[in-house]
Structure 1
Amino acid sequence: MWRTVARRTTIMIPQIVLLSILVFLLARSMPGDALTGLIDPSIDPAAIEEQRVKLGLNNPWYEQYWDWVTNALQGDLGQSFRFKMPVTDLIGERIANTFWLSLATLVITYLIAIPLGIISGRYNDTLADRMITGYTYIGFAAPLFIFALLMLWAFGFHFGWFPTGGSVAPGMEPGSLSYIMSKLYHLLLPATSMALITTVTTVQLLRSEIIDTKHKDFVHTARAKGASESRIYNRHILRNSLLPIAAFFGYEITGLIGGTVFIESIFSYPGMGELFLSSISVRDFTVVTSLVLLYGIAAILGALLSDLILSMVDPRIRIK
């Protein structure tokens, strides 16, 4: 196992290097720069140009990239032009909110998806299966940001059951029980909104696996030996059908982190996604490049995590 992790980590290094170059070049290809629109137009253009030279914005891209990488390896991701603070500190303030939102979404997703997938697969072609399948079709067709807006309007503004912004009520003392409950209350609506859409892939995958496994030879053999239906489903069908779900787990985490970009913006939830979109609008390149690089590294680690989980769930599978 550890040899596999070491080998895959070695393969990941050139992937991360290539990703960092692409992210840096794409960010620099955006119109304008970090000073565009942030300086009083009445200021002498020569002074603005002098500031660009001081910040190294006029240097060749490879010099800027090398400075950025060497500083990043030392834990310095640069200075945010918008917030006037180190990017590492800025991301550190937001990453906890994104983590808890992603975790809550993941828990709700599996609480919904696994029971629905089991019912739909075990009792396929019944009324319950048709209703669940209809729900998944609607989920596949519904854009996440449109569905989130409807959820915000219905349960946030119309009924007023949930807050419409922020991650905690003002005036709460950090660490207190009321503070924790307020945190959970604020993330429940955005997490549920995202989970109701992201769950459809897991439901369909589990349903297909159960239906396919039901017709395997070892299932017919178990029935021929007189095993009960509950034992057949629990010990044979369900256990084997959950393997793809386990393999998909790492990618699920990566997808949730990326999906929070829209959710956090719609619900005004102060996480990395909301920070990412607002930084793009003001061309805060140091923040944008850092966040995209972190998302990319998370995707690569998610692929590794999925492979490792699959090898642990099914020892017959060996990662090469």
Structure 2
Amino acid sequence: MGKTITRRFGIMVPQIILLSILVFLLAKQMPGDALTGLLDPSVDPAVIESQREKLGLNNPWHIQYWDWITKAIQGDFGQSFRFKMPVLDLIGERISNTVWLSLATLILTYLIAIPLGITSGRYNDTLSDRLITGYTYLGFAAPLFIFALLMLWLFGFKIGWFPTSGSVTPGLEPGTLAFVISKMYHLLLPATSMALITTVTTVQLLRSEIIDIKHRDFIHTARAKGASESRIYNRHILRNALLPIAAFFGYELTGLIGGTIFIESIFSYPGMGELFFSSILLRDFSVMITIILLYGIASILGALVSDLILGLIDPRIRIK
């Protein structure tokens, strides 16, 4: 497995280089540049042009890319034009909120999806299965941002059970119990809103796997040998049905990190998603490119994590 990890990391290097080039080129194709909207339109165009020349915005794209990537390798991703601070410092202030939101969503997703998927698959074509399947159909049909807005209006503004913005109550001292409780309280509604939608894929996948596996020959053989139903489901059906869920784990985690862009914007939650969205609107290219690159690296690592998990839990396909 060590050789496989080393080989996969070797493959990741050209993937990340290609990703960085594509991201840089796509960002440069956007209308305007980093100075757009920051300077008064009444300023002399010659002054604006001199600023662009000073910042290297008039250089060919390959020169701009080389200047950016050489500094990025050294840990310098530039400075945010909006916040007037290094990009890494800015992202460092936000990334923890996004990670906690993604982890909370992932935990809630599996707490909801696994019991529902097992119930729906084991008792298929019953009333409980139809109710669960109906919920998944509604989840597939409902756009995430529409559902999140509904949850915010109902539980945030209408009933008032949860805060409608921020990640913690202002004035609390970091590290205290009240601070931790406030952090959890603020992320509960956005995490639940995202989990109730993202869970439907896992429910349907688990249901389909259970229905397929419980009709295979080795299950009939186990029943013929007198094995109890609980043993059959726990040792044979469920163990095999969870393999695709485990294989999808890494992709789902990185997908949640990307999906927080909408959730954080709707709930005014100060994470990387909200920062990314505002950076696009304000043409803060340094921040935008860095965040996309981080998302891409996270997706590549997620694929590796999924392969490793699948190899650990299934000896038949173990990575060597």
Smaller-chain TM-score range? over 0.9
In structure 1, distance between residues paired with 2:240 and 2:32: 54
Q: Map of 1:199-278 to 2, 5 A cutoff?
A: 199-278=199-278
Identity of aligned residues (%): 81
In structure 2, distance between residues paired with 1:223 and 1:70: 64
Q: Map of 1:5-154 to 2, 5 A cutoff?
A: 5-154=5-154
In structure 2, distance between residues paired with 1:130 and 1:24: 48
The alignment status of 1:279 with 2:279, answered yes or no, reads yes
Shift of residue 302, structure 1, vs aligned partner: 0.7
Shift of residue 231, structure 1, vs aligned partner: 0.6
What's 2:2 paired with? 2
In structure 1, distance between residues paired with 2:171 and 2:12: 44
Q: Which AA in structure 2 matches 1:278?
A: S
Q: Which AA in structure 2 matches 1:131?
A: L
Shift of residue 40, structure 1, vs aligned partner: 1.4
Deviation string for 1:212-262 (max 9, x for gaps)?
A: 110111111110110100010001100111000000000110110010000
Q: Is the 8 A contact 2:312 2:318 kept in 1?
A: no
Q: Which runs of 4+ in 1 moved over 4 A?
A: none
Shift of residue 44, structure 1, vs aligned partner: 1.7
Shift of residue 319, structure 1, vs aligned partner: 4.2
Q: Is the 8 A contact 2:168 2:182 kept in 1?
A: yes
Q: Which AA in structure 2 matches 1:38?
A: L
In structure 1, distance between residues paired with 2:16 and 2:214: 42
DSSP 3-state at the match of 2:174 = coil
Deviation string for 1:276-295 (max 9, x for gaps)?
A: 00000010000110001111
Q: Which AA in structure 2 matches 1:184?
A: M
Q: Which AA in structure 1 matches 2:53?
A: V
Q: Which AA in structure 1 matches 2:96?
A: A
Shift of residue 181, structure 1, vs aligned partner: 0.2
Q: Is the 8 A contact 2:145 2:266 kept in 1?
A: yes
What's 1:187 paired with? 187
In structure 1, distance between residues paired with 2:132 and 2:255: 23
DSSP 3-state at the match of 2:209 = helix
- Figure out how many residues of one structure are paired with residues of the other and give that number: 320
DSSP 3-state at the match of 2:309 = helix
In structure 2, distance between residues paired with 1:213 and 1:251: 24
Q: Which AA in structure 1 matches 2:185?
A: Y
What's 1:288 paired with? 288
In structure 2, distance between residues paired with 1:171 and 1:267: 20
Deviation string for 1:177-209 (max 9, x for gaps)?
A: 000000000000000000000000000000000
Q: Which AA in structure 1 matches 2:248?
A: F
| Residue ranges of structure 1 left out of the alignment (5+ in a row) | none
What's 1:303 paired with? 303
Q: Which AA in structure 2 matches 1:144?
A: L
DSSP 3-state at the match of 2:37 = coil
In structure 1, distance between residues paired with 2:297 and 2:21: 13
In structure 2, distance between residues paired with 1:228 and 1:108: 31
Q: Alpha carbon RMSD of aligned pairs, Å?
A: 0.8
Deviation string for 1:2-45 (max 9, x for gaps)?
A: 11111111111111111100000000000110111111122221
Q: Which AA in structure 1 matches 2:112?
A: I
Deviation string for 1:25-79 (max 9, x for gaps)?
A: 0000001101111111222211111111111111110001011111111111111
In structure 1, distance between residues paired with 2:42 and 2:13: 47
State the TM-score, normalized to the length of structure 1.
0.99
DSSP 3-state at the match of 1:316 = helix
DSSP 3-state at the match of 2:315 = coil
